[in-house]
Amino acid sequence: MKILKSLMVTAAVSLALMANAAHAENKKIALVVKALGIGFFEAANKGAQEAAKELGDVEVIYTGPTSTTAEGQIEVINSLIAQKVDAIAVSANDTDALVPALKKAMDRGIKVISWDSGVAKDGRMMHLNPSSNPLIGNMIIKLAADNLPEGGDVAVLSASATATNQNTWIAEMKKVQGNYKGINVVTTVYGDDLADKSYRETQGLIQSYPNLKAIIAPTSVGIVAAAQAVTDAGKIGQINVTGLGLPSEMAGHVKSGASKSFAIWNPIDLGYSATMIAYDLIGGAEAKPGAELKMGRMGTVKLDDNNEGAMADPFVYDAKNVEEFAKIF
Amino acid sequence: MSKFLKNRELLLVAAIAVLLALITLRFPAFVAPSNLARVYNDTSILIILALGQMAVILTRCIDLSMAANLALSGMVAAMLNAAFPGLPIPLVILVAMALGTLLGMINGALVWKLDIPPIVVTLGTLTIYRGMIFLLSDGKWINAHQMSDAFKALPRDALLGFPVLSWLSLLMIGLVFLLMSRTALGRAFYAVGGNPHAAVYTGIDVGRTRFFAYCLSGALAGLSGYLWVSRYAVAYVDIAAGFELDIIAACVIGGISIAGGIGTVAGAVLGALFLGVIKNALPVINISPFAQMAISGMVIIIAVAVNARAERRKGRVILRKAEAV
């Protein structure tokens, strides 16, 4: 009797396993975000679904905690391990806290990558940055130059003088300045990411440089304040404000003409690329320094010594697409 | 000469004049009348806030929560406008001021009824008010395109050649001046700060007077909240972060004694203008941002040092013993 029972159980289990094997053709890729309900990540999911459709045999599980905590993400990751997903692509709430859970996942053969907000090197196979410092530095001056065919004076409005990312981008910008003929970067001023100080610094720029043609603000507070100051000074059309900003924050200023275009990463592309890379890894590609991983329509990403890679140039937003993206983030 | 040195307001006017002269050496266009009007306009919000802070400091208290109050009232005004764009702007301003007053009343009540030191109370409410903005807005920004045109236009509209923002600050200066010089409450502010014990003997309720000082600073912070948000056309959790220190600095430079009881409306206005001139001049005279911070700090220390000297006065004999017969 007992033997019969155990036989039946074995049969049931092996049947279930077989069913599983038949089903396993659909690869399960989990897109773990910082928290559900954030426009930026909903947009990333849109890109991931697009990638799944393109690949055909992929099921994307879009998940994350309800608030942006590392604890919540660890729970989510543990349940994904139990579900035996094929890959996890995570935008982490904490660089180090997720490492043990993700290591466990990798031990079980799950491919783990991080995107947008990275995990420490031990906890992932590779990290996908939305862009890279040289690409950003080049993009911000290109945005100014594209609207100045005859060249002219351009000023930079940064955050604080000690902000590492800002200084790196500006240094990268200056390296490629020679490629843009006639563009003359006159000065860099610091608005400390305060609306009032950025506004005042912009007024100062307008006074000090009467021939100023563009202001590059690679900071979301600065670009909004500069656009408002240019509007108030009646300089729309004479001075173009550009740099890095969010579509929802810049929509009004693009509409008024104070800013012709600006850039930031495109979350749709980011979700798409993360899914494509995860698929490539499931397919046997190896994430090691120097390796090139496939990202579908986004081309390939080359990994550096830390197994990190940059997706693409920042995405340009202008009057044509800003309204659409303003609804997303 | 020594009499001149003792008059803080004249001293400040002279200091501002010297400052303007120095700036002109490097950037002559700064003293053009149109630019000076622009500088005044830019300083208007600081002036309004300094008036409120002055009343509080006069009563030997301090209000560290003013900038947080401004940010919360401003966020509520912006959210109200975003949700109901048809709402008349004066009503929005009224709501912002009412909320600001309420937040001021909370400070005042804690200082009055629970007798907690003002610096502790307002340090606490500063964080609470900032936190409330986050809860209310979910950390999201209210952006230019979500605000109605009327909401953004009011401070910029020109009236007799000057923006409404400038006129509003002049109106507030006038009102607070009348309050200080012509009403019992205004005199009570000085009495409470000058000598709380003596004030009690003259029948002044010290706690209640402080409560009203906080109401005033709250109402002015609420008004400034709307003005700030509409001027910069953006509202988020961190607006005016650290601005409470500028407000207090303006008062200190203006000769308002942190020990209470000494200070004038003119002093607060001039102190704010002094800071306003520096803030607007630094971007155009082309000096490093690190030097800018050092200069701002140095000016405050010098002002306090000068004031401390002026305040060192001899005790007054208020009761003379009857001459021994």
Residue A280 lies in a domain: yes
- The three-state DSSP-derived secondary structure of B146-177 is HCCHHHHHHHHCEECCEEHHHHHHHHHHHHHH
Average pLDDT over every residue of B95-113: 96
Per-residue confidence band for B301, with pLDDT thresholds at 50, 70 and 90: confident
Least CB–CB distance from A189: residue in B233, B283, B290: B283
Per-residue confidence band for A117, with pLDDT thresholds at 50, 70 and 90: confident
Per-residue confidence band for A324, with pLDDT thresholds at 50, 70 and 90: confident
Which residue out of B43, B137, B234, B238 would a mutagenesis test of the A interface target, given it has the greatest number of A Cβ atoms within 10 Å?
B234
Residue A65 lies in a domain: yes
- Can you give the pLDDT at residue B259? 87
HSE of A166, CA atoms in CB hemisphere, 13 A: 24
Residue A323 lies in a domain: no
Contact assignment for A249 to B242 by CB distance below 8 Å: no
Average pLDDT over every residue of A34-38: 82
% of chain B beyond a pLDDT of 70: 92
Query: Quick check: helix, strand or coil at residue A246?
Result: coil
Q: Residues A30, A93: one domain? A: yes
Contact assignment for B279 to A251 by CB distance below 8 Å: no
Contact assignment for A204 to B283 by CB distance below 8 Å: yes
pLDDT of A24 strictly over 70:
no
- Can you give the pLDDT at residue B267? 92
pLDDT of A1 strictly over 70:
no
- Can you give the pLDDT at residue B96? 96
pLDDT in tens, B185-194: 999 999 999 9
Q: Which residue has the higher pLDDT, B317 or A303?
A: A303
Residue A129 and residue A311 in contact, taking contact as beta carbons nearer than 8 Å: yes
Residue A320 lies in a domain: no
Number of domains chain A is built from: 2
Query: Quick check: helix, strand or coil at residue A306?
Result: coil
Contact assignment for A199 to B232 by CB distance below 8 Å: yes
Residue A317 lies in a domain: no
Least CB–CB distance from B143: residue in A197, A200, A248: A248
Sheet holding A87-90, edge to edge: A58-63, A27-32, A87-90, A111-115, A126-129, A308-310
| Range in A5-9, A48-52, B15-19, B186-190 with the lowest mean pLDDT | A5-9
- Can you give the pLDDT at residue A3? 60
Q: What residues of chain A have any CB closer than 8 angstroms to a CB in chain B?
A: 160-161, 187, 189-190, 194-197, 199-201, 203-205, 207-208, 224-225, 227-228, 232, 248-253, 255-256, 326
Per-residue confidence band for A21, with pLDDT thresholds at 50, 70 and 90: very low
pLDDT in tens, A72-95: 999 999 999 999 999 999 998 888
The dihedral built from the CA positions of residue B67, B68, B69 and B75, taken in this order, carries a sign that is: positive
Least CB–CB distance from A161: residue in B27, B241, B290: B290
Say how far apart CA B207 and CA A249 lie, in whole Å: 45
Say how far apart CA A140 and CA A244 lie, in whole Å: 7
Q: Residues A213, A250: one domain? A: yes
pLDDT of B271 strictly over 60:
yes
Contact assignment for B232 to A195 by CB distance below 8 Å: yes
Contact assignment for B283 to A203 by CB distance below 8 Å: yes
Cross-strand pairs, A29: A60, A87
Q: Residues A15, A108: one domain? A: yes
- Can you give the pLDDT at residue B1? 46
Q: What residues of chain B have any CB closer than 8 angstroms to a CB in chain A?
A: 27, 29, 35, 38, 42, 141, 143-146, 156, 228, 232-234, 239-243, 279-280, 282-284, 286, 288-290
Q: Residues A42, A142: one domain? A: no
- Can you give the pLDDT at residue A22? 44
Residue range(s) defining the domain that contains residue A23: 2-131+267-312
Write down the ipTM of this complex: 0.79
Q: ∠ CA B62-B139-B69 to the nearest 5 degrees?
A: 20
Which residue out of A249, A259, A262, A325 would a mutagenesis test of the B interface target, given it has the greatest number of B Cβ atoms within 10 Å?
A249
B45 → chain A, closest CA residue: A196
Q: How far is CA B59 from the centre of its chain?
A: 15
Contact assignment for B289 to A248 by CB distance below 8 Å: no
A225: distance to nearest CA of chain B, Å? 6
Average pLDDT over every residue of B91-102: 96
- The three-state DSSP-derived secondary structure of B60-72 is CCCCCCHHHHHHH
Average pLDDT over every residue of A184-212: 92
Average pLDDT over every residue of B268-289: 87
pLDDT in tens, B32-64: 999 999 999 999 999 999 999 999 999 999 999
Per-residue confidence band for A13, with pLDDT thresholds at 50, 70 and 90: low
Cross-strand pairs, A315: A264
pLDDT of A12 strictly over 80:
no
Residue A253 with chain B: CB contacts under 8 Å = 144
Contact assignment for A255 to B145 by CB distance below 8 Å: yes
Residue B29 with chain A: CB contacts under 8 Å = 207
Per-residue confidence band for B304, with pLDDT thresholds at 50, 70 and 90: confident
Nearest CA among B220, B275, B278 for reference residue B253: B275
Least CB–CB distance from A207: residue in B29, B42, B156: B29
Residue A322 lies in a domain: no
Q: Residues A19, A89: one domain? A: yes
Q: Residues A120, A98: one domain? A: yes
Residue A203 with chain B: CB contacts under 8 Å = 38, 42, 280, 283
| Sequence-distant (≥ 6) Cβ neighbours of residue B93 within 8 angstroms | B77, B223, B226
- Can you give the pLDDT at residue A162? 80
Nearest CA among B307, B293, B291, B269 for reference residue B40: B269
Residue A329 lies in a domain: no
Query: Quick check: helix, strand or coil at residue A97?
Result: coil
- Can you give the pLDDT at residue B293? 75
CATH of residue A34's domain is 3.40.50.2300
Q: Residues A36, A115: one domain? A: yes
Mean pLDDT of chain A, nearest integer: 88
A322 → chain B, closest CA residue: B145
| Sequence-distant (≥ 6) Cβ neighbours of residue A307 within 8 angstroms | A121, A124, A125, A126, A127, A287, A288, A289
Q: ∠ CA B3-B8-B9 to the nearest 5 degrees?
A: 110
- Can you give the pLDDT at residue A14? 54
Residue A189 with chain B: CB contacts under 8 Å = 283, 289
| Sequence-distant (≥ 6) Cβ neighbours of residue A25 within 8 angstroms | A57
Q: Residues A240, A286: one domain? A: no
pLDDT of A156 strictly over 50:
yes
Q: Residues A22, A63: one domain? A: yes
Mean pLDDT of chain B, nearest integer: 89
Contact assignment for B286 to A208 by CB distance below 8 Å: yes
Q: Residues A141, A102: one domain? A: no
pLDDT in tens, A250-280: 999 999 999 999 999 888 999 999 999 999 9
Average pLDDT over every residue of B169-176: 97
Residue A27 lies in a domain: yes
- Can you give the pLDDT at residue B241? 87
Q: Residues A114, A260: one domain? A: no
Contact assignment for A160 to B289 by CB distance below 8 Å: yes
Contact assignment for A208 to B284 by CB distance below 8 Å: yes
Residue A160 with chain B: CB contacts under 8 Å = 289
% of chain A beyond a pLDDT of 70: 93
pLDDT in tens, B308-325: 666 655 555 566 666 554
Q: Residues A187, A224: one domain? A: yes
- Can you give the pLDDT at residue B289? 74
Predicted model pTM? 0.79
Per-residue confidence band for A26, with pLDDT thresholds at 50, 70 and 90: confident
Residue B233 with chain A: CB contacts under 8 Å = 224, 228, 252
* Distance in angstroms between the alpha carbons of the first and the last residue of chain B: 42
- Can you give the pLDDT at residue A43? 87
Contact assignment for B141 to A194 by CB distance below 8 Å: no
Average pLDDT over every residue of B84-103: 95
Give me the phi and psi of A32, to 5 degrees please.
-95, 120
pLDDT of B296 strictly over 80:
no
| Range in A22-26, A211-215, A233-237, B102-106 with the lowest mean pLDDT | A22-26
Q: How far is CA B190 from the centre of its chain?
A: 17
pLDDT of A239 strictly over 80:
yes
Residue A36 with chain B: CB contacts under 8 Å = none
Per-residue confidence band for B272, with pLDDT thresholds at 50, 70 and 90: very high
Least CB–CB distance from A200: residue in B29, B283, B286: B283
B141 → chain A, closest CA residue: A249
Say how far apart CA A222 and CA B266 lie, in whole Å: 34
